[in-house]
């Protein structure tokens, strides 16, 4: 019985963290603009930190699900859809480096009460990166649903 509760708790934390990560990206997308107020700039920095914590939680709980609480490591590792899903997650993580580093560079001026000055090209680039993150993140639940139903297992046996 403990194993069932543990499995359910890990799955719940996995799904919840995924939703928090997605929501954080939506907040970043809606908040980011060329002319920021101090409060909005801080919101972006804090939200990106929350996004990072949620993404790490998704990663850790995902690993736990593969190793201990899922259908078994062999099931996941033999499914190309799983590899695609992990690839999407890695891609989102790599894309997130640009906004995260950008926002972290704002910390010093923000602590001094100064709003960062943003060029329009930088805002546009950050916006498109966040949109790409959202797009790839949106594909992960579809891949998870496919994988849970065994789609992809026959692709390599084909």
Quickly state the pLDDT bin for 75 (edges 50, 70, 90). Answer: confident
- Give the C-alpha separation, 60 to 14, whole Å: 8
pLDDT at 2 > cutoff 80: no
Mean pLDDT across 16-33: 98
- pTM for the complete prediction? 0.91
Quickly state the pLDDT bin for 155 (edges 50, 70, 90). Answer: confident
Closest CA to 9 of 53, 68, 86, 81: 68
Mean pLDDT across 30-52: 97
């Amino acid at each position: 019985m403990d194993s069932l509760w543990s499995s359910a708790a890990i799955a719940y934390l996995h799904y919840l963290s995924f939703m928090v990560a997605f929501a954080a990206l939506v907040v970043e997308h809606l908040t980011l603009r060329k002319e920021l107020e101090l409060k909005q700039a801080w919101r972006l920095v804090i939200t990106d930190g929350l996004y990072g914590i949620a993404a790490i939680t998704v990663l850790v709980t995902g690993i736990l699900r593969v190793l201990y609480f899922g259908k078994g490591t062999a099931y996941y590792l033999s499914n190309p859809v799983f590899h695609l899903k992990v690839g999407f997650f890695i891609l989102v993580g790599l894309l997130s480096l640009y906004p995260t580093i950008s926002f972290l560079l704002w910390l010093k001026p923000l602590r001094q009460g100064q709003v960062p000055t943003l060029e329009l090209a930088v805002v546009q680039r950050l916006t498109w990166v966040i949109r790409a993150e959202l797009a790839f993140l949106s594909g992960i639940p579809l891949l998870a649903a496919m994988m849970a139903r065994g789609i992809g297992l026959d692709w390599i046996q084909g």
